[in-house]
Amino acid sequence: MNQLNETTNVTGKRAVRSGADSRMKVRTIAFVGLMGAVSAVLMLFRFPIPFMPPFMSFDLSGLMEMMGGFMFGPFAAVCIIIVKIMLQLVIQGSFSLGTGEIQNFILSSCYVLPALFVYHRNKTKKTAAAGMAVSTVFVSVVAVFTNLYLIIPFYVKLFGMTMDDIIGMCTAVNPAMKNVMTMALFGILPFNLIKYGVTSIVTFIVYKRLSKLIRGIISR
């Protein structure tokens, strides 16, 4: 009889634990979707940076992607990026026949994934900061190539422009950008260092408080 009761208790505990785990998974999925939605909303508040290329805009959408990756792992971060891009397409449509969205996915992934690789090997504040520093430099370099070989050539063909027209737009806001090389060195590269550097700093400041709040809700 005692053995039967013990078996029943163990089975009951397993069922309770399984139910709790299922609720946590559902809540985690819901938060991943919510963070993707917030990331899409943050993209709506983008703005240009003075003296930087006028076709580039600053936003903090990477904040939710990085936070989600720190909390739930790389796969969740990629899901947040995808949700953001899909919602952006629904809200605003595509102005580049999907090319901008491809670049968005590439740059967002290049920003988030290196930092998560460093952080999840040893979860400390130092590794989080180091990972985001590495990611900021890496994605800024990648952005130079995606802009020069993907985005700018596409817009040149789409709107019947030339590379000189693009450089002329940049020279108008910053005389230091006189050719492709100077546009990359004094425009595209510093813009992305600023954008992702600021995003990393904000993430580092707010992560601890927001992650505790979110984890508390998920574990209820």
Q: Following DSSP, what letter does each residue of 158-173 receive, concatenated? A: HTT--HHHHHHHHHHH
- Note whether 31 and 73 are within 8 A (CB): no
Q: Rounded to the nearest 5°, which phi and psi values hold at 167? A: -65, -40
User: Three-state SS for 48?
Assistant: coil
Residue 14, pLDDT above cutoff 90 = no
59 compared with 207, residue with greater pLDDT: 59
Instruction: In whole angstroms, give the CA distance from residue 12 to residue 8.
Output: 6
- pLDDT score for 4: 46
| Short-list 193, 38, 212, 66, CA closest to 129 | 66
Instruction: In whole angstroms, give the CA distance from residue 80 to residue 86.
Output: 10
Compute how many other C-beta atoms are within 10 angstroms of the C-beta atom of residue 8. Answer: 10
Q: Which domains does the chain have, with CATH numbers?
A: 21-218 (1.10.1760.20)
Compute how many other C-beta atoms are within 10 angstroms of the C-beta atom of residue 24. Answer: 14
121 compared with 65, residue with greater pLDDT: 65
What are the residues whose beta carbons fall under 8 Å from the beta carbon of 38, sequence distance 6 or more? Answer: 64
Over residues 162-173, the pLDDT tens digits come to 999 999 999 999
User: Residue range 30-55: average pLDDT?
Assistant: 93
Over residues 98-139, the pLDDT tens digits come to 788 999 999 999 999 999 999 988 889 999 999 999 999 999
20 compared with 81, residue with greater pLDDT: 81
Q: Rounded to the nearest 5°, which phi and psi values hold at 47? A: -155, 155
Reported pTM: 0.86
Instruction: In whole angstroms, give the CA distance from residue 60 to residue 128.
Output: 18
For the chain, the C-alpha Rg in angstroms (whole number) is 22
- pLDDT score for 106: 96
H helix runs in 99-162, sequence order: 99-119, 125-146, 152-158
Structure confidence at residue 1 as a pLDDT band (50, 70, 90): low
- Joined together, the tokens standing for residue 124 give 């400390």
